[in-house]
Amino acid sequence: MSPPDWDVLRRALGVSVSDEALRHALTHSSYAYENGGADNERLEFLGDAVLGQSVTALLYQHYPELPEGELAKRRAAVVSTHALAKVATEIGLGHFLLLGRGEERTDGRTKPSLLADALEAVIGAVFIEQGHKAADDVVIGLMGETIKDPRTFDETADPKTALQELAASRALPPPRYVLSEDGPDHQKTFSADVFIDHPQHSPGPVGRGVGSSKKLSEIDAARNALSALRGS
């Protein structure tokens, strides 16, 4: 793989941040374990907090009529793994990830959890090097349209509930999830198959998903099942 062109990423982020800071933010723990150096987990922790604060302020300003409970739901949707991974994919963040051999073999550059974590780490790196205003500007630039788009807050924000409601509207039994896991204890990947046990459906799963936790794999499976059922 060719060396990363950090200028491309800087233009996508709209901020001047050093190669060193970006490299640190995009170093996955699997790469650091194999090659030495610091991984991006502390920056991810920081970036998560910065992102949450910025998104909260944006929602507060953009939706003055909404009560606290609805604002909280919308914030959860905007900072979800699904939403962050979508933004990370749009700016090509996966190309810049530094991954260990195992993650490379298992298409780590397209894993939603890795992309979302890396985006948070980048925000954290900008905060450390350029300050709160620069980090806030990055969040606004990347997430502003997501916050304004009502589709962010539709069934994609809670696909498991949406799938259950869709099944009920079609007089079908509730969705049933079957889980499996793979990988070492410190780096497990979970898979979920969701079934709707009814004669009008094939015996196979109506959706499949993967994630870094059981919950995330079920959410991914439900989202894929919704897409499949909506098209049927």
Q: Which residues sit in the known binding site for Mg(2+)?
A: 44, 117, 120
Catalytic residue among 19, 34, 39, 48: 48
Catalytic residue among 39, 120, 129, 136: 120
Query: CA separation (Å) from 169 to 163, 166, 207?
Result: 10, 5, 18
145 is catalytic: no
Query: CA separation (Å) from 170 to 163, 164, 207, 230?
Result: 11, 10, 17, 12
Query: Where on the phi/psi map is residue 37: left (φ > 0), alpha (ψ -120 to 50), or beta?
Result: left
158 is catalytic: no
DSSP letter string, 182-210: ES-GGG-EEEEEEE---TTS-SS-SEEEE
Within 10 Å of residue 99's Cβ, how many Cβ atoms?
A: 23
Asked if residue 205 lies in contact with residue 195, where contact means CB atoms within 8 angstroms, the answer is yes
What is the set of active-site residues? Answer: 48, 120
